[in-house]
Each structure stands twice: as C-alpha cells, then as structure tokens.
Structure 1
C-alpha cells in the first residue's frame, strides 16, 4: 500500500459512441499529464441514450466494445490503471449489462462489475426511470487488489445501499467508488451527503466520476465528480457540470488511521428487530 494520485474524469456522454470515446481519450490524457496512476470515468461512458432500440443496436460484447478496447489501449499507452465507471455491454442471452471494468498498465482487463441496484424511481415533476426495463442487474460485489489499494467497485444508484460498501470494507477495501450519472434533481438533494457518508462510515477513500450537464437525449445530470477522504473531507471536486478532470493524492494509510479512531467496523453487533404495536 502506498500513496497514489487518482483522477476522476467528468463527461457529458451523448449518443455517438465514437465521439464519447474521443472525449474520454482526451480527458484521460489530461489526467495523465497531471501525474495520475489511476483514472476513473463515469457511469455510461460509452453513451447515454433513452432510445432502447438504438442502444441495443449499438451493443457489443466485451472483446469488441469500443470503450473497453480504448480503455485497454490507454492503460497500456500511459502505464496506468484505467477504471471505466460503466458502459452498456451485450452480456449474452438477450441481456444488457451496465458494466464497469478496470484495466492494468499492461492493458489487461483485471475485473468487471455489473451494477447490482437498478434505478427504478418516480421523482417530482414527472421524472421517471426504469433501469430494470433495459438492464439485467448483477449479483456479485467486486473488490480489486491493486498494487496501492484494495478498490471496491460500485455504480451510481448503488451509493444508496450502505450494506454494499460495508461488506466491501469488511472484505478489505480501503478505497470505494461510485461512478455515476446522477440526475440533477437527486444530485442537488443527496449527492454530497451520500458520498461523504459512505466514506466516513467505512473509513475509506471514495472516488466518484460523474456525468454532468444536459445530454442529447434530454436528461440532465448533476456532475460534481468528487474524491473524499476516510474522515469525510472533500479532497477534490468539480463544482460544476462541465466536462473536466479532478485529481487528488491518496495516502491509503489514512484509511487504517480513520478506522483506528472510529472502529465501527469492529464494533458492529448483531441485533434483532422487535415490533411493538400501540393498543388503541
């Protein structure tokens, strides 16, 4: 374990996958110029499109997906770890996966993660989403042993499920992640408190690259890519929704220090729920 420099890439992906890949390549290059060894991109790096038929027509399997292929090439070109927050992948048997992946400096794919929790919600002002109508949920949490940290993978809506990150922390994760395409409405209400809470309660660094701005399909995402310390301090943030790069130096030892001060992972105890009805 050691100190490493991490970057979160903020994007505004549209429906043109090739153009999104070009943007990703440019921003990863900017991150590398800042001395980073780990670069994370947001959820749905490859494309954001509501048109399900168009999405299905654009799908490729992992070996032929243009985002994964570009990420592998970037990792090898710059000698860094590239973490694709997610992109849509043809997973076989008519399944579509919202899949993240991490690539080693050799270009080798180290791990993939399929988003577990589907964003099926009805918000104010008629905004409604049904991810489960398009994507098949995953069922396996993933922690990747990198040379400098143990990284827990997650995607966007997963951030609202504290138990996922608690299990990752108990498994040894000292850096967690939630690359996202948070809606502007939910982001304004909850983004910062959720990011800081997950970092604090697990004594872990948290890195979340985000989509931001008004997209071609009409959705609006919140941006505000963020890196948070185990003590809940915001180390870096894009305080806007524009494409760009944020960078922070991460001393993984601070995770152990935070957990020693507040040993809630060790202090947790099993319990039962007792329901008590008030007599009328």
Structure 2
C-alpha cells in the first residue's frame, strides 16, 4: 500500500491552511497514495491557544470536516485528518481530535488525543490542558487498500508517542500501522522524535507513519518537522529533512510485517 505523510507549517489562517492541505493531498494522490496522513493542528496554529475555541466544530458538522470528507471522496483515498478542534463537554475546552475518512468521504473512526503536552524552559512554555480536554479511549480502525488487502491502523497524536502502553494496546488489537500526526517543538523533536518513532515501530513490530508540523510559525513557535515513515524493523523508509510543506511517500509491504514477526516473534514472548 502506498502512503503519504504530509508536512505543513500551519498559520492562524484556517482558509489558507485548508488550501495548503488540499494541494498536498492532490500531490500525494497524483503519485498514487492510498492512505494520506495530515499533521496535528493542520487546520490552524493560532496566535494564542484560545484560538482553537473559535475554530471548534461539533462532531460531524462544520467547514473543516466538510472539506476533509470532500477531499477523501474527490481523490478516492483514506484520509487521516491530523487533528482539528471539536467541542467537548468541558467549558472553554476543546478535544484535539483525529478523524479517519474513507474513500467515499465518510468518517469511519475518531480518536480524541489522550495525553496532553506540557513543557517548560526559560524560553518555552506549553500547556495543552489550558484549552484541551483529554480523550479517554484508544482507537484502532480497519481500512482496505486498493488491492482489497485489509490493514489495521492504531490512531495516536503527538505527545502520545511518549507513552508506549498506548501502542502496545494497539499491537494487542492487531494493528499493522501506527499513525502519529504531530507538532513536536524543535527542542523536543531534535532530541527525541526519531528515536521514539523507531522504538514504537520496533517494539510493536508495526509500520509507523508520522506527519509533522515543521518550520517557523507566525505565532513564533518553531516545530521540528522531519515527517517520516518507519518499517517494522525500525528502519526509516522515507523522511523529509527540509522544513516547511512537503509529501513523504512510502510503500508498505505486508510481506515485510510477516517476515519480521516470524523471524523475531517478540510479541508472542510477552510475559508481563
């Protein structure tokens, strides 16, 4: 199955971000992608955290979700929509939600980010809990490639990457692919991004697709980028090393999964 992880450098202009996302999806589709992954916050990186509240939509309704459904249908592909803000149950909070759309444009899975990022240095301060309500449930979804081959996809978002127990749950549920739409800071990404992605692939014997924000944003934030695809042996199949928007293509081979799991049946050897 041919996949595309999309890298963006989103701004506070939602309309411009949607136009940029569509252009990247069209580029990926023209190169044969069947599964496309957008980054976290693809629709907007605001000047202030509270900007997410103004962009929030009810699940199933809204211009951002309408655009995503239209793109999946137009290009006939599976589309994992990074994250967008959906209204939750907590006042002045939103859910940071990843949605999966099928090639007919229907939403077939929803995952609300469970782990909320907090990081502080003398120069940087981030606390997602200030405006985001955490999700509670892991989600694994079934997709089918154009040859009719089924795949299971474990959904996650950014900071989730630091919590291996979530991905082990996905592996136990039969995941073949782990997806990680992200907006890693430059500081944390430079230190930990690749090693964490490769570790999650190795320990769960799954492909990992990681679509990132990358570059210098209007709000002053700098994100690491380096969107990539990793195979089940931990090898990087493809990676974008330049900041800014781009498409990372990778071919996922089921025979590779079977070979790795047969040669080193680590998941069968679990004790705890």
What TM-score range do you get, normalising by the shorter chain?
Answer: over 0.9
- CA deviation vs aligned residue, 1:99-151 (integer Å, no higher than 9, x gap): 000100110000010000000122x4431211111101111001001113100
Partner of 2:142: 145
Answering whether residue 104 of structure 2 is matched by residue 102 of structure 1, we say no
Deviations 1:231-278 (A, max 9, x none): 1111110012120101011012322221222222111112xxxxxxxx
Q: 1:49 is matched with which residue?
A: 46
> RMSD across aligned C-alpha pairs, in angstroms?
1.3
The 1-side partners of 2:161 and 2:90 are apart by 28
TM-score, normalising length from structure 1?
Answer: 0.92
**Unaligned 5+ runs, structure 2:** 145-149
After TM superposition, the runs of 4+ consecutive aligned structure 1 residues lying more than 3 A away are none
SS in 2 for 1:213: strand
Work out the CA distance in 2 between the residues paired with 1:224 and 1:32. Answer: 21
Residue 40 (str. 1) matches residue 42 (str. 2): no
- Kept after mapping to 2: 8 A contact 1:50/1:217: yes
- Alignment correspondent of 1:10: 7
Residue 184 of structure 2 contacts residue 224 of structure 2 at CA under 8 Å; is this kept in 1? yes
1:214 to 216, 219, 224: 216
State whether residues 91 and 97 of structure 1, in contact with CA within 8 Å, keep that contact through their aligned partners in structure 2: yes
d(CA) in 1 for partners of 2:266 and 2:243? 34
1:217 offset after TM fit, Å? Answer: 1.0
Name 2:179's counterpart in structure 1.
177
2:66 to 59, 65, 69: 69
1:10 touches 1:42 (CA, 8 Å); kept in 2?
Answer: yes
Structure 1 pair 145/136, CA: closer, same or farther in 2 (3 Å)? same
CA contact (8 A) 2:182 2:210 kept: yes
Q: Give, in whole Å, the separation in 2 of the partners of 1:157 and 1:52.
A: 17
Worse-matched range after superposition: 93-102 or 133-142: 93-102
Q: Equivalences for 1:81-96 in 2 at 5 Å?
A: 81-94=78-91, 95-96=93-94
**Given that residues 45 and 67 in structure 1 are in contact (C-alpha distance below 8 angstroms), is that contact kept between their aligned partners in structure 2?**
no
Cα distance in 2 between the residues matched to 1:191 and 1:259: 24
Instruction: Judge conservation of contact 2:115–2:159 (CA < 8 Å) in 1.
Output: yes
* Number of residue-to-residue matches in the alignment: 266
Equivalent in 133, 136, 139 of residue 136 of structure 1: 133
Separation in structure 1 between the aligned mates of residue 51 and residue 203 of structure 2, nearest angstrom: 40
Inter-partner Cα distance in structure 2 for 1:115 and 1:59: 15
Contact 2:56 2:84 in 1 (8 A): no
Preserved CA contact (<8 Å) 1:46 1:88: no
Q: Partner of 2:232: helix, strand, or coil?
A: coil
Q: What is the TM-score normalised by the length of structure 2?
A: 0.94
Q: Which residue in 2 is equivalent to 1:203?
A: 205
Residue pair 1:21, 1:66 contacting (<8 A) in 2 also: no
The whole-number CA distance in structure 2 between the counterparts of 1:62 and 1:24 is 20
Q: In structure 1, how many angstroms separate the alpha carbons of the residues matched to 2:190 and 2:51?
A: 30
**Corresponding position of 1:248:** 250
- 8 A contact 2:5–2:38 mirrored in 1: yes
Mark the structure with the bigger radius of gyration: 1
Query: Structure 1 pair 204/48, CA: closer, same or farther in 2 (3 Å)?
Result: same
